[in-house]
């Protein structure tokens, strides 16, 4: 299983940094709030997204909307969700609050990682879950990855471990019985864990094999745990 080597920057974070730099002081959007086609095609080349310039239509058919450039749309969504960009009065503009971080690829990566942690914590606990369940499950996920830094973990077994991880004062079996959990809810949870791991893989924190059944911390992910997550977990438990 290939992993990101020491010092490598996530291509995803690098591309989002380049996107933010391209936006500069702002870019005009279409009346439907999309990037203009010409701008979208320029970004496909600039960022090397690999999107089909014909929008997947084949032949020489002209691209009708930048919405048909899925990788570019994913990068744009990532920048918006992380708070690096926003839309205002028909324009795509940078968020001044994060101007300093947005100036460097590493600063952008840190913002994206922070957003990934927030999203993962929310995703790992349903709305009716006990307080702190998402935080507890996220901590358990990273602790398990850190304990097995040299060994790839089976993603489905990792999901099973998280499913049975409970918030303080709530047994996993009691939670399951009380909520009437169905088999399809467990399947949905496995999918959520897969999405969480893929988000981290995009940021170079974990590496996954081609069929996404195995996962392992990268050197970058190990640093993230040792420098940021482990101290936080220790402070919370003390």
pTM of the predicted model, to two decimals?
A: 0.81
Helix runs in 24-104, H state only: 37-47, 70-81, 99-102
Enter the tokens of residue 20: 């933010």
Pick the CATH number of 124-237 from 1.10.10.10, 3.40.50.720, 3.40.225.10, 1.10.630.10: 1.10.10.10
Residue 3 pLDDT > 90: no
> Per the structure block, which two tokens stand in for 75?
């990068």
Q: Is the pLDDT of residue 89 over 60?
A: yes
* Sheet containing strand 85-88, strands side by side: 27-28, 91-94, 85-88
Handedness of CA 150, 156, 159, 161 (dihedral sign): negative
Considering just the CA atoms, what is the radius of gyration of the chain in Å? 20
The pLDDT score that the predictor gives to residue 170 is 52
Indicate if the alpha-carbon torsion angle 174, 177, 180, 181 is positive or negative.
positive
Mean pLDDT of 115-129: 89
What average pLDDT does the chain have? 86
The whole-number average pLDDT for the span 34-58 is 89
Give dist(CA 9, CA 109) in Å, integer. Answer: 8
pLDDT in tens, 203-225: 999 999 999 999 999 999 999 99
Helix axes 133-147, 155-163, angle to 10 degrees: 140
Cα end-to-end span (Å), the chain: 37
Range in 34-48, 119-133, 184-198 with the lowest mean pLDDT: 119-133
Among 35, 96, 31, 29, residue whose Cα is nearest residue 63: 35
b/e string for 140-154 if b means 16 or more Cβ within 10 A? bbbebbbeeeeebbe
């Amino acid at each position: 299983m290939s992993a990101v080597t020491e010092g490598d920057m996530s291509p995803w974070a690098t591309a989002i940094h380049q996107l933010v730099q391209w936006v500069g002081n702002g870019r005009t959007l279409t009346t439907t709030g999309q990037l203009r086609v010409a701008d979208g095609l320029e970004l496909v080349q600039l960022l090397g997204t690999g999107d089909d310039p014909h929008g997947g239509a084949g032949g020489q058919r002209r691209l009708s909307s930048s919405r048909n450039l899925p990788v570019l749309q994913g990068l744009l969504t990532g920048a918006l969700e992380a708070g690096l960009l926003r839309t205002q009065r028909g324009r795509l503009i940078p968020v001044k609050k994060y101007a300093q971080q947005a100036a460097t690829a590493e600063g952008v990566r840190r913002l994206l990682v922070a957003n990934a942690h927030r999203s993962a914590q929310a995703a790992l606990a349903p709305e009716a879950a006990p307080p702190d369940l998402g935080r507890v499950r996220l901590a358990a996920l990273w602790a398990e990855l850190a304990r097995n830094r040299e060994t790839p973990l089976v993603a489905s077994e990792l999901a099973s471990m998280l499913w049975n991880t409970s918030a303080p004062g709530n047994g996993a079996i009691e939670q399951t019985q009380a909520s009437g959990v169905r088999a399809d809810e467990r399947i949905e949870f496995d999918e959520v864990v897969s999405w969480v791991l893929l988000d981290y893989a995009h940021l170079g924190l974990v590496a996954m094999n081609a069929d996404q059944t195995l996962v392992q911390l990268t050197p970058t992910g190990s640093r993230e745990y040792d420098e940021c997550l482990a101290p936080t977990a220790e402070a919370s438990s003390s």
